[in-house]
Amino acid sequence: MTEAWERLRPVESLVKLPLYSAVGVTSGRLVYSSNVEGVRDLWSLDLSTGSSVRLTRGGVSAVAAVRPNSPLVVYAKDVGAGRELHQVFCVDARGGEERAIEGMEPRRVFGVEFDGEIVAASAASERSVELWVMRLGGEAERVYETKSIIVVSDVGSGKVVGHGVLRGNPRAFELFVFDLESLELEVFTPREGSLNRAPRLWGSKLLFATTAFGRERLVVYDLETKELAEPELRYRDHEGYDFTEYVAYGWTADGRVWFVGKRDGRTRAFVDGREVPLPEGCVTNLVPVGSRVYATHSSLASPHSVYEVDLESGERRVLLGAELPPEAAERIGEAYMVWYESADGLKVPAFVVESRAAPRPGPTVVYVHGGPWADVADSWNVMIASLAALGYHVVAPNFRGSTGYGEEFRRMIIGDPGGGDLADVVGAAEWARASGLADRVAIMGYSYGGYMTLLALTKRPDAWSAGCAGAGIADWEETYELSDALYKSFIEVLFAGRSELFRERSPITYVEGLKAPVCIVHPQNDTRTPLRPVLHLVERLLELGKTFELHVIPDAGHAIVKVEDALKVLFPMVLFLDRYLRSGGGGRG
């Protein structure tokens, strides 16, 4: 068995690569998050001396934008051993004690914002989705309650703003403006049925992304004049790129608009319409400060770096970042995008990362992303990098429902999860064989990707030699019953209220059909994709004499924030793939 343990080393080195993400600048310090000490915490870097201090311990989840008018950083922290029972805290960016904001029982906080004085949060309990307002030094107050989804994206000028499913249409997002004086919530949409998201305030102006006028674009709505306009930009470098999605945007301190546009899984960043020179890949966040910009960047072949870019000279340097270990860099091939045809003729985009350590055709993994409203882009993904470093080609389909390819494509999953998207995932395996990349194929994914893995292995068993399902969904009925108000609402939107589909779209319904060996990994305290339905699936696997592994990660939740837990997810999967895919000991092939 020595060889097996040897195989874990490159995975360990990749999982332990520190990740960095810029949050904002205040008091001459760049606030950023990093897992460099084993868990994702907040740090700040003194921009004049270059030295860093650690601000938090034990991990953070949501982090509010940092404001130049306050040295405080506001964030949510899980106090429930992974159950996503959060409390809101603040800490001084220059260092000091973490302080809890009193008055809110721990609950799922999925949006937190701060204007320098007031904190606003969207949170969920078993019963309802809520809006909370907290004044520093004062008590937290629940100011609004609903059964639908509302996500806070900004607070300022006496208002809390955000988006949600506010008119009962699962295909739409409207904006909301909550007035902190009258305590009234107003709903706004430029066009009924359109998708509007993540408004950012500057005075009375709201900058947001909308599909009201066709493909997604950024617009500015003035809450006083009630006028809708295009953002005013001094430069026009962005013209002609035809972005399908705006992944990040906001205002500079002096009211200029910055944004990150995405097309075909790669982004470009602009401040006031002037492009920020960055390498190919994806920018996940941008922090403009005066004539400088701090950009968090990665690609499928390079882990996160925070670049400091001088907009005037175009000069850039890496402020924070980690190098890929040479043995991994040698093995991870170029990432490229392909479009293949699914069973019903739909063109589906996928990213392919070939392994330089695998023959062609060779063992291949179809990696299915979570969400489902997310995508695999040309940005760092430790699972994909580990697979390629170990000698597996990876095909990562952006199945129907994925974001980044337009609103029509995103909506195709609503009312049909586990339907057309499953055909697209099976299509990725067929493409991998037909193109000469794969001689045998496994499937792997986490969360919605874990669900797809379980469904694909049981309902379309002939496509796969093996499969690894992390934090999957085995039974929609039981998962729905165990969900809090936010996730109940989420499932209602995903199924467009068609709960009669729950049975037909659940892996447990097809468990008898399973052919390939399956490796199941699940966090014990997962409150998004709860463990119990998966244990019921495992009971059936046992009764039916199927080949499976089950690994429960103790004291961990859905969001893997500890490096140690990430290893506990990946190590069993890697050893399993070595046994059932690499050495060809599996079901098919």
Out of 59, 199, 288, 370, name the contact with ligand 4NP by CB under 6 A.
370
Shortest distance (Å) from residue 231 CB to ligand 4NP: 30
How many angstroms separate the Cα of 560 from the Cα of each of 41, 182, 292, 525?
13, 40, 32, 11
Neighbours of 345 (CB within 10 A): 6
Neighbours of 55 (CB within 10 A): 25
Residue 487, interface with ligand 4NP (CB under 6 A)? yes
Q: Which is nearer to ligand 4NP, 391 or 450 (CB)?
A: 450
Q: Which is nearer to ligand 4NP, 43 or 448 (CB)?
A: 448
Residue 495, interface with ligand 4NP (CB under 6 A)? no
Out of 371, 415, 419, 461, name the contact with ligand 4NP by CB under 6 A.
371
Stretch that binds ligand 4NP, among 309-317, 487-495, 496-504, 509-517 (CB under 6 A): 487-495
Of 86, 297, 369, 558, the active-site residue reads 558
Shortest distance (Å) from residue 100 CB to ligand 4NP: 27
Question: DSSP alpha helices (H): ranges in 112-197?
Answer: none
Q: Which is nearer to ligand 4NP, 376 or 494 (CB)?
A: 494
Longest alpha-carbon distance in the chain: 71
Per the CB < 8 A criterion, the answer to whether 393 and 358 are in contact is yes
| Spatial distance between the Cα atoms of 162 and 190, rounded to a whole number of angstroms | 14
| Spatial distance between the Cα atoms of 324 and 333, rounded to a whole number of angstroms | 13
Neighbours of 506 (CB within 10 A): 25
Shortest distance (Å) from residue 529 CB to ligand 4NP: 5
Contacts of 422 by beta carbon, 8 Å cutoff, 6+ apart = 452, 455, 456, 459, 460
Stretch that binds ligand 4NP, among 78-86, 207-215, 488-496, 581-589 (CB under 6 A): 488-496
* Annotated catalytic residue 526: yes
> Does a cis peptide bond (omega within 30 degrees of 0) precede residue 361?
yes
Which x/- pattern over 203-222 shows residues binding ligand 4NP (rule: CB under 6 A)? --------------------
Footprint of ligand 4NP on residues 450-479 (CB under 6 A)?
A: 473, 479
- β-strand 393-397 against 362-368: which pairing, if any? parallel
How many angstroms separate the Cα of 52 from the Cα of each of 47, 55, 66, 69, 239?
9, 9, 17, 21, 38
Number of amino acids touching ligand 4NP (CB under 6 A): 12
Shortest distance (Å) from residue 370 CB to ligand 4NP: 3
Of 447, 465, 483, 489, the active-site residue reads 447
Residue 65, interface with ligand 4NP (CB under 6 A)? no
| Spatial distance between the Cα atoms of 426 and 459, rounded to a whole number of angstroms | 10
Which x/- pattern over 503-542 shows residues binding ligand 4NP (rule: CB under 6 A)? -------------------------xx-------------
Which residues carry out catalysis? 447, 526, 558
Interface with ligand 4NP (CB under 6 A): 370-371, 447-448, 473, 479, 487, 490-491, 494, 528-529
